[in-house]
A and B are shown apart, each in its own frame.
Chain A
């Protein structure tokens, strides 16, 4: 079946450091890929997405590129802030139809803590 694997956490960085959170996926076909962020005590917020190979999703200084050859969608940010402290989830979605229904399959999440 389809699955998403994220790098083990937690990740602890100092403010203005460079961030990478690795995400790889397994899927039969060509999924859409997403990064969601969850702040303490809250639900999930869509951070960025990419729907086909070589697409780059970006938002709030975060970027991720859909790499079909390595089945990856790594999240990066050049300079993190304390306010970026949260849990980050990578997810995939197959095209709706058949048994897919367009459901999201999530990784286990990566906790990011940024210190001043």
Chain B
């Protein structure tokens, strides 16, 4: 059974640019959640997708957006990057919303 995978592993961008991060969910999982983990902090919930629809959103501005595809993989898009967007972005999948979440290794984003 393949676990949750994310790409790329590392990324460097400059302020104002746009970035797309990708996540493949664990086999059989139809729910994907995205979290932002700033250095030295716990992860913060960004949003969740269930069967290709946004199922809930945390306290993040609209420039953070996402997609989920028919195979349940997902993208996180961030527009107009700011320095404070530098963080580890974690994707987690679950059998359905409310079930145990399993995390990928994360994408480390650095905004200069």
User: Do B98 and A93 touch across chains, with their CB atoms under 8 A apart?
Assistant: yes
- Bound form: Cα–Cα A83–B61 in Å: 39
A-B residue pair count with CB separations less than 8 angstroms: 69
Q: List the one stretch of B11-19, B41-49, B64-72, B74-82 in contact with chain A.
A: B41-49
A10 to B45, CA, bound (A): 24
User: For residues 14 through 64 of chain B, which have their beta carbon under 8 Å from a beta carbon of chain A?
Assistant: 31, 33, 35, 40-45, 48, 55-56, 58
Given A100-B56, A104-B43, A109-B41; A46-B102 close (CB under 8 Å): yes
Chain A stretch 67-116: residues in CB contact (< 8 A) with chain B: 89, 91, 93, 95-97, 99-109
- Give the interface size class of chain B: 20 to 34
Contact A46 B48 (CB under 8 A): no
Contacts of A105 in B (CB 8 A): 45
A44 to chain B, nearest CB (A): 4
Q: When the two chains form their complex, are residues B42 and A89 in contact, meaning their CB atoms are under 8 A apart?
A: yes
Is there contact, CB below 8 Å, between A107 and B42? yes
Q: How many residues of A are counted as interface, with CB atoms below 8 angstroms from the partner's CB atoms?
A: 26
Q: Which residues of A contact B6 (CB under 8 A)?
A: 43
Q: Report the separation of the CA atoms of residues A49 and B102 in the bound assembly, to the nearest whole angstrom.
A: 13
Query: Are A102 and B90 CB-contacts (below 8 A) given A43-B103, A44-B43, A89-B42?
Result: no
| B97 and A96 within 8 A (CB) | yes
A15 to chain B minimum Cβ distance, whole angstroms, is: 26
Point out the residues of chain B lying under 8 angstroms from A12, CB to CB: none
Asked if A43 and B105 make an inter-chain contact with CB atoms under 8 angstroms apart, the answer reads: yes
Report the Cα distance A80→B97, complex, angstroms: 34
* A1-44 interface bits toward B, Cβ cutoff 8 Å, 1 = contact, 0 = none: 00010000000000000000000000000000010100000111
Closest CB-CB distance, B9 to chain A, in whole Å?
10
The residue in A44, A46, A108 that gathers the most chain B C-beta atoms within 10 A of its C-beta is A44
Most chain B CB within a 10 A radius of its CB, from A4, A43, A96, A109:
A43
